[in-house]
Amino acid sequence: MTGFPIFAVRSLLRSAAFTSLTCSVVALPGLAQEPQKMLLVGVDHRVVTSLNGDWHYLVDQPPARGLYAAGGKVRDNGYAMNTHPNISSGPHNEEYDFATAPTLKVPGDWNTQEPTLFRYEGVVWYQRDFDFRPKAGTRTFLHIGAANYKSFVWVNQKRICDHEGGFTPFDCDVTAALKPGTNFVVIAVDSTRDVDGIPSVGIDWFNYGGLTRDVSLVTVPKMFVDDYDVHLKHESSFSAANATTLAGYVHVEGASAGTSVTLRIPEAGIDTTIKTDAEGKASFEVKAKQLTLWSPAQPKLYKVELSTGDDRLTDDIGFRDIRVEGTRILLNGKSIFLQGANMHAEAPYRGGRAYSDEDVKNIFGFLKDLNANFVRLCHYPHDERMEREADREGVMVWSEIPVWQRISYEKPEVYAKATRMVGEMIRRDRNKASVIMWSVSNETPNNPTRTEFLTNLANEARRLDPTRPITSALIGPRPKGNEMVQDDPLMKALDVVGQNQYIGWYEGRPEDADTIHWTFPEKPILMSEFGAEAKYGNHGGKSDRWAEEQQVNVYEHQFAMIQRIPQVRGLIPWVLMDFRSPTRNIPKLQDGYNRKGLISEDGKKKLAFEQFQKVYKEHSVGKAE
């Protein structure tokens, strides 16, 4: 089978399949309230009141009348009221009662907690009480690490905020709604797929719903630090000798012009006071007495202390320089080769959305075992714990928003969502030294509407953070004989180009890779996805699809092909671990899992894991320059 023509066919097939098969498409109502301005940076370094634990839940199946009125408008007088039915004499409320309802753990997806909700995509209501003692001169925010996909928040029956996007945090000011004593919060989470959503309706990962990451109350003084950026100044060229200037800003919410902010980094000999401008922003450039730059070999993090008025905040930040020069990726001025893996935010062993320290430890344990220095967190921002661990462990990170294959590129409101998601991703993780590039999309159809959308989005990311390369994972091109000329116009907007290809699995035979000649522009190229499916424990010949030996064989031919592409600066096999996907339904082989992992979902290493472990140990595939 000479599979080449299959290139273009694959993406068409898969998206058509997704659109028709996997879900009921409804146009969800527009959010009632302006998107959140508030995303508190460094919340995980603040003292908070955790609201994690058992929350009562109620399932509000389509058309979800507890939440949406006919026509889709969000109701404030439905389940959000948290009233109780008068069982004995009536009249009932709308016949719901959180107080006697079962509970779900937060954080966590509902799908793997309650068997009846395993394949449920729709609205689930969460409710819990909490005690609160208001403190004068403070504001209190409800911090939600992530909730998939749309969420609507009420406190004490008062509508507080809405949010769209399953993988980035948001903070809602609940100060005015709180009272001394017992309070309650009600959150409706709607995981229904939306054709105008990001991602849209077709995805190759499990659509876990719920309050999937930490929820807490954050009380801060009226004037407080809500955002900051402390990084090694990104000069036009890098010189190790001069790499001692830190630059950035501290934004103080509620501050008037001229408000003092103290920036202290004791280990770097920095102790300086800066002043805010009329917008509450205090920008700075300050020289460190000495600075050890962050790198995989030396993931040095500095204790950074910020204080203004009554507010104090610390963070652990590494300082490093990352840039592109020609086809090279330079970390602190040195060419690097990225030896990585793709990873979905799925918990090894127990399954479900990954959110805990244990999940993160397990995942980084596999990456360390693999001798990896890089991980692509796909296709959406993962729990902040991942970047924190990457900072500590010296693992470089590709972070991405879920513009996955087809979305409604033609709709301005969808572009607005994408810019907000890029903004949230960058705001949460801009101070993470481990994050070395932002990705705006994965495998998107090469047409002018999409290219304009993503070019603008790439420039928006670059505007928000001019210190990191911008990337995206491309698909195609159409092969001409053995010639693969990647000429996707989106590359003009990218600093680093990711190339996804599945020669040997979706396209052709493994050995076809031996004769393929790739043409790429003079930019760093990352093989951002390549691989094949193999069921752990399934053994056979090297051409026996689904056998571990076949997966190894596909990679052997890939390595030879990649060695012939001078611009390749990194390997990112698809995928570190088998993961759940609703479209992978070949019994006994897939059983609801994408089986392209180097390890199985329960951590069993396939032969291909050892193959990469050896290649990465010996640095035997690819060159940094």
CB of 532 to ligand GCU, least distance (A): 9
Q: Does 207 bind ligand GCU (CB under 6 A)?
A: no
Are the beta carbons of 198 and 77 closer than 8 angstroms?
no
CB of 105 to ligand GCU, least distance (A): 28
Beta-strand (E) ranges in 426-561? Answer: 435-442, 470-474, 483-485, 496-500, 517-519, 525-529
Q: Does 231 bind ligand GCU (CB under 6 A)?
A: no
SS3 514: helix
Are the beta carbons of 314 and 302 closer than 8 angstroms?
no
If the CB atoms of residues 493 and 532 are measured against ligand GCU, the closer one turns out to be 532
Residue 58, number of CB atoms within 10 A of its CB: 18
If the CB atoms of residues 261 and 490 are measured against ligand GCU, the closer one turns out to be 490
Are the beta carbons of 518 and 562 closer than 8 angstroms?
no
Query: Of these, 140, 442, 499, 551, which contacts ligand GCU (CB under 6 A)?
Result: 442
Question: Minimal CB distance to ligand GCU: which residue?
Answer: 204
What is the 3-state composition of the chain as percent helix, strand, coil, each rounded to the nearest 5?
Answer: 20, 30, 50
Separation of alpha carbons 522 and 499, rounded Å = 14
Query: Of these, 224, 302, 574, 612, which contacts ligand GCU (CB under 6 A)?
Result: 574
Are the beta carbons of 211 and 144 closer than 8 angstroms?
yes
CB of 344 to ligand GCU, least distance (A): 8
Q: Does 529 bind ligand GCU (CB under 6 A)?
A: yes
Instruction: Pick out residues in 346-405 that bind ligand GCU (CB under 6 A).
Output: 379
Could you report how far apart the first and last alpha carbons of the chain are, in Å?
A: 36
Are the beta carbons of 507 and 2 closer than 8 angstroms?
no
Per-residue tokens: 446: 């090469």
If the CB atoms of residues 75 and 382 are measured against ligand GCU, the closer one turns out to be 382
Separation of alpha carbons 104 and 378, rounded Å = 26
Per-residue tokens: 430: 């801009």
Query: Of these, 339, 439, 594, 600, which contacts ligand GCU (CB under 6 A)?
Result: 594
CB of 426 to ligand GCU, least distance (A): 22
> How many positions of this chain bind ligand GCU (CB under 6 A)?
9
Bridge partners (DSSP) listed for residue 139: 220
CB of 427 to ligand GCU, least distance (A): 25
Separation of alpha carbons 536 and 612, rounded Å = 16
Separation of alpha carbons 625 and 335, rounded Å = 6
Please report, for residues 300, 330, 375, 425, 434, the alpha-carbon distance to residue 394 in angstroms, rounded to integers and kept in the order given: 8, 16, 11, 20, 7
CB of 194 to ligand GCU, least distance (A): 19
Give, as one character, the DSSP assignment of residue 311: E
CB of 7 to ligand GCU, least distance (A): 12
Q: Does 499 bind ligand GCU (CB under 6 A)?
A: no
Query: Of these, 204, 227, 311, 488, which contacts ligand GCU (CB under 6 A)?
Result: 204
CB of 204 to ligand GCU, least distance (A): 4
CB of 528 to ligand GCU, least distance (A): 8
Torsional class of 349: left (φ above 0), alpha (ψ -120 to 50), beta (otherwise): left
Q: Does 443 bind ligand GCU (CB under 6 A)?
A: yes
If the CB atoms of residues 140 and 528 are measured against ligand GCU, the closer one turns out to be 528
Over its C-alpha atoms, the chain yields an Rg (Å, rounded) of 25
If the CB atoms of residues 238 and 574 are measured against ligand GCU, the closer one turns out to be 574
Query: Of these, 168, 207, 500, 611, which contacts ligand GCU (CB under 6 A)?
Result: 500
If the CB atoms of residues 127 and 207 are measured against ligand GCU, the closer one turns out to be 207
The binding site for ligand GCU (CB under 6 A) comprises 204, 379, 442-443, 500, 529, 574, 594, 596
